[in-house]
Amino acid sequence: MKTILTPGQDPRMILAAKALFREGYAPASDGAADLVLCPPGWKEDKLADAAGQVLPGGILTAGSVTPSLAARCAARGIRAIGLLEDPAYRAANALATGEGTLADAIRLFPRVLAGERVLVLGYGACGSEIARLFAAAGCRVSVWSHPASLDRAARAGFPPAKAAELPQMALTVNTVPDPDFMPVLIGGLSPGSRFFQVASGPVPGEQALIDRGVVCYALPGLPGKYAPESEAKAILAVLRPALAAAPG
């Protein structure tokens, strides 16, 4: 009988595991398993440790699979699957991230959101969904990103933010793991404004933002928090072909 581990106890991975338990898989009992379900936000150091828990011929899930992680897994005779490399999962994850970000904004913001200025950092899959959903909620959304992304954002109706406009932003949402434009932003955001870190990792320049009076929130794992059932379904859609092809 094949076994599953869910390190980190992410709700979406737990639900995916429960679905597979109903299909004949079993929980691992000795710290090693045929399938190790790591959440998409995990960094490579944690994924490398998790790879050591995968039995030969087994599967490790990750957000994206770097060449070094792929090589590590190949050397162990296991396979790493990058969930975010699948277009359908990437879209589902972005939608769940956008809805979760809006839900947390409603919960944490001290005023009605409609009419407020919102700055979205990055305009990839998650950034574009966040911009769309906040605009639908009545916010005035601007985008700060690289030129190619800014062109796409402008075509969708979201103008590029100018440095002179930064003090007007009531909420800034960062979707970029390692933004190189934080020094400009830190100097422009107003005291009392909110900064949401949606990308994985710590808030970039957090102490400088706090010193300026910006209220910071790290919001990891929003899809697992707000849409675990939808996420589990999308994860299983990526995994099932690989599971069917796995030996044994």
224-238: pLDDT as tens digits: 999 999 999 999 999
Is the pLDDT at 179 greater than 80? The verdict is no
**Residues 134, 162: one domain?**
yes
Which of 85, 115, 149 terminates a domain? The answer is 85
Q: Could you give the CA distance from residue 12 to residue 93 in angstroms, rounded to a whole number?
A: 11
State residue 181's pLDDT score. 78
Specify the pLDDT at position 248: 65
The secondary structure element, H or E, covering residue 224 is helix 222-226
Q: How confident is the model at residue 9 (pLDDT cuts 50, 70, 90)?
A: confident
Question: Is residue 247 predicted with pLDDT exceeding 90?
Answer: no
User: What is the tens place of the pLDDT at every residue in 45-94?
Assistant: 999 999 999 999 999 999 999 999 999 999 999 999 999 999 999 999 99
Instruction: Indicate whether 182 pLDDT > 90.
Output: no
Q: For the residues 174-179, what does the mean pLDDT come to? A: 87
pLDDT per residue as tens digits for the range 22-47? 999 999 988 999 999 999 989 999 99
Instruction: Examine the domain organization and report whether 104 and 219 are in the same domain.
Output: yes
Is residue 220 located within the same domain as residue 105? yes
Band the pLDDT of 246: cuts 50, 70, 90: confident
Residues 116 and 51 in one domain: no
Are residue 66 and residue 170 in the same domain, yes or no? Answer: no
Residue 209 gets which letter from DSSP? H
Beta carbons within 10 angstroms of residue 24's beta carbon: 8
Task: Examine the fold and report which residue of 85, 100, 119 is the final residue of a domain before the chain moves on.
Answer: 85
Q: What is the pLDDT of residue 90?
A: 96
Instruction: List all residues 6 or more positions away from 184 whose beta carbon is below 8 Å from its beta carbon.
Output: 163, 166
Average pLDDT over residues 136-149: 95
Model's pTM, two decimal places?
A: 0.92
Whether residue 183 sits in one domain with residue 98:
yes
Q: How far apart are CA 140 and CA 148, in angstroms?
A: 21
Q: What is the CATH number of the domain that holds 148?
A: 3.40.50.720
User: Residue 152 has what pLDDT?
Assistant: 96
Name the residue range of residue 184's domain.
90-225
**E strand or H helix at 56:** strand 54-62
Residue 233 included in any domain: no
Looking at the structure of the chain, the number of domains it has is: 2
Q: What is the pLDDT of residues 121-130, one digit of tens each?
A: 999 999 999 9
> Does 178 reside within a domain?
yes
Burial class (CB in 10 A: 0-12, 13-18, 19+), 157: exposed
